[in-house]
Amino acid sequence: MPPGEVTFSESLDALIHWAPVADELKQYDVEALRNSMRFQWKHVRDQLTSLLDVESVVEDIQRQSLMIETGDP
């Protein structure tokens, strides 16, 4: 799976799971549906990648986790 697509993999799985198609017929459409959704969401993934400062987000999460563990406000 190309970088950035992992973030959206659950929504692809949910779309396939909840699609109003008989389960026995879904097997024929899964690959086409996944490819279609991947390309439809490409612009969103590209924007997210360019705007998100991953290192800062990780540092903030680590800092907040430490504050919770130590009880610091």
Res 73 pLDDT > 70: no
Residue 26 lies in a domain: yes
Residue 23 lies in a domain: yes
Task: Supply the pLDDT for residue 31.
Answer: 86
Q: What is the total count of domains within the chain? A: 1
Task: Supply the pLDDT for residue 2.
Answer: 64
The number of helix segments (H) and strand segments (E) in the chain equals 4, 0
3-state per-residue secondary structure call for 15-43: HHHHCCCCHHHHHHHHHHHHHHHHHHCHH
Residue 35 lies in a domain: yes
The answer to pTM > 0.85 is no
Residue 1 lies in a domain: no
Task: Supply the pLDDT for residue 56.
Answer: 93
**Residue the block writes with tokens 């800062």:** 56
CA–CA dist 43, 58 (Å, integer):
24
Average pLDDT over residues 37-60: 88
Domain that holds residue 46: 6-70
Residue 39 lies in a domain: yes
